[in-house]
Amino acid sequence: MSYSTATVYTETVVYSPPEQYAKDVPYQLAIVDLAEGGRLTARILGPHAEIGDRVEFVEDRGGVAYFKKA
For the domain that residue 37 is a member of, what is the CATH number? Answer: 2.40.50
Share of the chain above pLDDT 90, in %: 90
Helix or strand holding residue 44 (H, E) = strand 39-45
Helix (H, G, I), strand (E, B) or coil at 3: coil
> Model's pTM, two decimal places?
0.90
Residues of the domain holding 32: 5-69
DSSP 4-63: -EEEEEEEEEESS--GGGGGG-SEEEEEEEETTSSEEEEEEESSPPPTT-EEEEEEEETT
Q: Can you tell me the distance from the alpha carbon of 58 to that of 61, in angstroms, rounded to the nearest whole number? A: 10
pLDDT at 5 over 90: yes
The number of folded domains in the chain is 1
Average pLDDT of the chain to the nearest whole number? 95
